[in-house]
């Protein structure tokens, strides 16, 4: 089987199940040809040499696939995607990477273009930006205060790990039990609302800021009748990991108005999952 794999392209080997992991790296067109030893690290004890014995890989503009063989790696095993060389002395030519893509068991789990990232002696490893690692999703629970006019039916956004996500929108979230506007309840005073968002593109290790933002007034202009200002009281964010259990990323009181005078509330995560 190993001999047969050597006679087919890496894409085919991955597609028909002869390789558990396929790493594809595109070299920037302005980069120099790099022949230095390079590795990909997917977690503790999961490091693999990136080398193609058939062609001169890592040419300027080249898209090189690397089928890692029968590694017995599954999605839950991939804790990181780091490419480079742990020994900077072995890096003789800077290598500029344009794109990284990764498939595990035939499913693409990472695809990032326009990286323009350089691996050299000063930066011997590139950690794939925005990769969620072992995190499957984030559960966001927000309690709204009980003050007069504390609630809102406006769009609400959260920026987590550098990615902004809409966590409520009246056209998408429908509540038959408690209709307010077209069946949408928003964040009424005294309510608790929970939203689960996918972890893709959320990079908390490299961006720990959390920003809660309310959009412009949907029913009333800001400030009218006490109007669409919003008074969130508490936020809790839980990271659901594929293995190893859940991690509470943030559990914090807010107790402040978000609206015309102050459209956002900002904090930082308390724990990195």
Residue 234 tokens read as 């508490």
Q: pLDDT, tens digit, for every residue of 190-226?
A: 989 888 988 888 888 778 999 999 877 655 554 454 4
13: left (phi over 0), alpha (psi -120 to 50) or beta: alpha
Q: pLDDT, tens digit, for every residue of 27-52?
A: 999 998 988 999 999 988 999 999 87
The pLDDT value given to residue 170: 44
Domain count across the chain: 2
Residue 233 tokens read as 């009281």
Backbone angles phi, psi at 242, to 5 degrees: -70, -35
| Domain end position, chosen among 101, 127, 153 | 127
| Radius of gyration for the chain, computed over Cα atoms and rounded to the nearest angstrom | 23
By 3-state DSSP, what share of the chain in percent is helix, strand and coil, each rounded to 5? 10, 40, 55
| CATH code where residue 252 lies | 2.60.60.20
Listed residue (58, 48, 53) closest to 102, CA to CA: 48
202: left (phi over 0), alpha (psi -120 to 50) or beta: beta
The answer to whether residues 122 and 141 belong to one domain is: no
The pLDDT value given to residue 11: 55
The answer to whether residues 144 and 254 belong to one domain is: yes
The pLDDT value given to residue 182: 42
Collect all residues with Cβ–Cβ distance below 8 Å to 55 and sequence separation of at least 6.
none
The answer to whether residues 105 and 144 belong to one domain is: no
Listed residue (101, 133, 94) closest to 117, CA to CA: 94
Would you give the DSSP letter of residue 230?
B
pTM here is 0.68
Q: Which residue in the block uniquely carries the two structure tokens 């959009």?
A: 215
List the chain pLDDT tens, one digit each, 273 residues.
333 344 446 655 555 456 889 999 999 999 989 889 999 999 889 999 998 777 788 999 999 999 888 788 998 889 889 999 988 899 999 999 999 999 999 889 899 999 999 999 999 999 888 887 888 899 999 999 999 888 887 888 999 998 998 886 444 443 434 444 444 457 889 989 888 988 888 888 778 999 999 877 655 554 454 457 899 999 999 999 887 789 999 999 999 999 878 889 999 999 888
The pLDDT value given to residue 51: 83
The answer to whether residues 116 and 183 belong to one domain is: no
Q: Which domain holds residue 221?
A: 135-268
Handedness of CA 5, 10, 15, 21 (dihedral sign): positive
The answer to whether residues 146 and 241 belong to one domain is: yes
């Amino acid at each position: 089987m190993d001999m047969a794999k050597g006679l087919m392209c890496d894409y085919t080997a991955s597609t028909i199940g002869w390789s558990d992991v396929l790493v594809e790296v595109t070299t920037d067109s302005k980069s120099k040809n790099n022949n230095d030893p390079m590795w990909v690290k997917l977690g503790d004890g999961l490091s693999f040499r990136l080398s193609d014995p058939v062609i001169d890989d890592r040419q300027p503009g080249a898209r090189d696939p690397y089928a890692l063989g029968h590694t017995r790696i599954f999605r839950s095993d991939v804790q990181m995607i780091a490419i480079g060389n742990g020994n900077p002395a072995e890096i003789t030519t800077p290598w500029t990477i344009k794109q990284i893509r990764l498939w595990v068991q035939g499913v693409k789990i990472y695809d990032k273009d326009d990286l323009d990232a350089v691996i050299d002696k000063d930066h011997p490893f590139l950690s794939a930006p925005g990769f969620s690692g072992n995190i499957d999703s984030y559960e966001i629970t927000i309690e709204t205060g009980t003050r007069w006019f504390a609630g809102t039916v406006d769009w609400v956004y959260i920026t987590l790990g550098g990615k902004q996500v809409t966590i409520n929108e009246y056209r998408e979230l429908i509540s038959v039990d408690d209709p307010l506007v077209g069946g949408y309840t928003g964040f009424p005073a005294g309510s608790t609302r929970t939203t689960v968002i996918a972890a893709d593109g959320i990079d908390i290790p490299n961006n720990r800021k959390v920003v809660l933002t309310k959009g412009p007034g949907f029913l009333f202009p800001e400030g009218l009748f006490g109007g669409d200002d919003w008074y969130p009281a508490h936020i809790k964010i839980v990271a659901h990991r594929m293995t190893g259990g859940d991690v509470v990323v943030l559990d914090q009181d807010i107790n402040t108005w978000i609206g015309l005078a102050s459209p956002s509330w900002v904090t930082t995560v308390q724990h990195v999952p």
